[in-house]
Structure 1
Amino acid sequence: MFDTLSYLQLQQYWWFLVSLLAALFVFMTFVQGGQTLLWSLGKTEDQRDVIINALGRKWELTFTTLVMFGGALFAAFPLFYATSFGGAYYVWMAILFCFIIQAVAYEYRKKPNNFFGERTYEVFLFINGSFGIILLGTALGTLFTGGNFIVNSMNLSHWTKASYGLEAALNFFNVAFGLMLFFLARLLAALYFINSIDDKTILHRARIVLKYETWIFLILFLYVTGALLTMQGYSYDPKTFVVSVESMKYWHNFMELSVVTGTFVLGTLLLLAGLFFGIFSHSDKGIWPAGTGVVLVVTSLFLILGYNHTAFYPSLADLQSSLTIQNSSGSYYTLTAMSYVSLLVPFVLGYIIIVWRVMNRKKISVDEVKNDPHHY
């Protein structure tokens, strides 16, 4: 099966898998978005308990998706993993710290004789949902704007700035990308609460969040989309692998990859439809079209980033050190062997779907949380 594919086809196959896993993870960040809404939606301890337990049912699924995404990157494109995670390690260590304190918070918030108190762990959850997602979005923005690294002839890389990735925060596009993901996570969280919580007060406040923050997200989304369509990109010759600057590269990718363009447009319409349901109707199903739309949009953005002879991680220090799916991937034999392992991915996704359905069979309420001695 996979043995009949060419090396390039295997690289493209794995980039598609990485793109899909990244998109699923972005959808699952509604957990982080919900953590930032804890105090605005939950004015009493009972309400905050309901919110945290609604999120607690899903935060481990978010970790499962994140691990799959990171594992796929490491296995299929090890040079990117080594260059980015090994070079811009200040940023990635900060992101890792934000996710570690999230796990600690869910574990210890309701422990008896809690030394720090519930409030401290709620602050941890807010840090994870705000700084963690903004930093992660800023790091993802560098895939379009580039990083300050050099890769030598032996595929050893080093960073050229002592800030080791923190300089990404000085680029307006990167920060806007991070803020866009932050507000998207909050909107998805509001839709998730409407779908999964049985409390009229919380649901009313969630719809207010949708009403006002949708406009902030749309402004950021339009800016990021407009900037992508007009910014310069980096293309490479498929024969010589020489990298060169190309004006409006991502616009050209959209024009030449019609299926990807259709996916992006469809995803955008579904996302808007989900937000419309949450704001203007009494339906509690807005999370599904919105979530599907997010997966389609993020997948298409990753595909225009890596397909059509595009450098998906440009080097600002040395143009020819820029990373592509062809010069940063594992060997043909590695990709072939892993492709057979990737056939297990649908089973993992099926597990996530089944667990989700079981946990959300009944909407969570204050009474249910009070009667559960093991709640978060």
Structure 2
Amino acid sequence: MKDALAAQARTEGFAKMGVCRPDALPELAGRLAAFLDAGRQGQMGWMAERTGWRGDPAALWPEARSVVMLAEPYTPDHDPLAVLDEPDRAAISVYAQGRDYHDIVKKRLKRLGRWLIETHGGEIKVFVDTAPVMEKPLAQAAGLGWQGKHTNLLARDLGSWFFLGAIFTTLDLPPDPPEIERCGTCRACLDICPTGAFPAPFQLDARRCISYLTIEHRGPVDPELRPLMGNRIYGCDDCLAVCPWNKFARAAGELRYRGVIGAPPLAELALLDDPGFRARFSGSPIKRIGRDRFTRNVLYAIGNSGLGRLRGVAQGLTEDADPAVADAARWAALRLEGAQ
């Protein structure tokens, strides 16, 4: 049954599959509690909700006997850090460059799950980053990879660039051996972080993470952190991109980078009103943060550009209806005073 499922998963386009028990992570609840007690989740209040489920996958669906974890690569075909040297353009995380992975991966999971039910019976529930499921620890328990010093999942045969999906099932499938940590003495991901978001190896303080700041954080960003964000307006790939294991990264399939969004000019993005923003990023995960938070990020990037010709763009938004946008515009205009 498991071999047939793995073959069908490859047919659906998944690069790798592993299986673990729902109760394979007895230490998970304690790790989650320590993270929350330290306040490192920032404004992500949802992380403190349903901790009973999040910290114990077996409690999420007591009838489940197996968790099938699947990996889907989105490996870029370019250097994602090169855009950081183009201060007039927006750096957007690779995963957000194309269609929203939630929709694509979930459809594949549902097709695979239906095949499993029709062929072998049982019941299923599928999850893609939208439920209180700790996908990365489950993926490590299922042998797909390990959580590196930057807390993201790595794999010897996939590198850093892949999404995770989960199928909980009442079928009893043989579990795979968990993967072990293989980072060794490497510190590349820790040392490159612009904001020092890693208090220690294998620990992340989301409150200093650029991905968190540009996507999850509402309102003004701490002025101390704004200059460190550079031209990153949606997410940050630095710690992923420098990982040496990427030399084994597998080419992406349907979710490969297609240049749909690319690195657009900051001046162009700053002028988007709400309808324009929604139209431009329809079908993209970027749309979920809304025009105001997006424009706030763009203005921080403009302020960091050092380009005097962008000062007028910032000045034009100093009276914006959104307080965080207006604050970012004033900050950017002040930063560019006297810039050439």
TM-score (norm 1): 0.28
Structure that is richer in helix per residue: 1
